[in-house]
Amino acid sequence: MVEWKKSGSPVGYEEALAFMDARVAAIHEGKAPECVWLLEHPPLYTAGTSAKGADLLERRFPVFETGRGGEYTYHGPGQRVAYVMVDLKKRGAPDIKKYVCDLERWIIGTLDGFGVKGHCAEGRIGVWVNTPTGEKKIAAIGVRVRHWVTLHGVSINVNPDLSHYNGIVPCGISEYGVTSLKDLGIDATMDDLDAALKKNFFG
C-alpha cells in the first residue's frame, strides 16, 4: 500500500531531504508504508552526483548538492515534483535500470492523458516531446537508492517560468531546450496532473 502525500505550499529543499531520509529508513525497517510525495519547491537548483561546475552558468537561486544521480536541474513553482519512496525488493528482483524505465513509462502514460506524446531518448534520461522548434525535455528524473529503497524521483513542468532554466545547462545537455504543458498549449492544473499521476502509477 502506497501512501500519497501532497503539500499545497512550496516545500524547502532541506525539509524535503530530511523527510525522505527519515521515511526511507522507516520503510527499510518495516515501520512505515511506501510513499509518493507530490509537492512544489521554491526556485532553486540542485546538483546531482554527475554535475559539472561549468554547467552552473548563473547562481540565480540557491544551489543544493544532492545525492541523486544526474547533473544540474531546476525546481520551482509551476513544476510538479513527485518524490517516490518505494522498496524495490518488494517489487521483484531489485533493478535500478528497470525502476528508471518504470518512472519514464509512468510519466509518458500520464502525459498521454493530456494529449501529449512523450518519449524516451537514447542516452538522455527523462521524458522528451517533439515541438515545432525541436525536441525538448518536459520531465526530469533523478533517483537514489538506499538499502534498495528509492529516494528523489521525477519533476514535470506544468507552467513554470522556463527562463529560470537559463542559469544552468539542464542535465548537462545544451543542444535541447525545456518545455512545459503550458508551453505546449495545455492548460492543466496541478490537481489535474496529480490525478493522472495517481491513476497511472506503476506501484
Catalytically annotated residues: 171
Beta strand pairing status for 134-146 and 63-65?
Answer: unpaired
**Nearest-angstrom CA–CA distance, 155 and 166:** 17
Q: How far is CA 156 from CA 58, 89, 142, in A?
A: 23, 27, 12
**Nearest-angstrom CA–CA distance, 8 and 169:** 29
Beta strands per DSSP E along 7-133:
34-39, 44-47, 63-65, 72-75, 79-85, 119-121, 124-131
**Nearest-angstrom CA–CA distance, 6 and 122:** 32
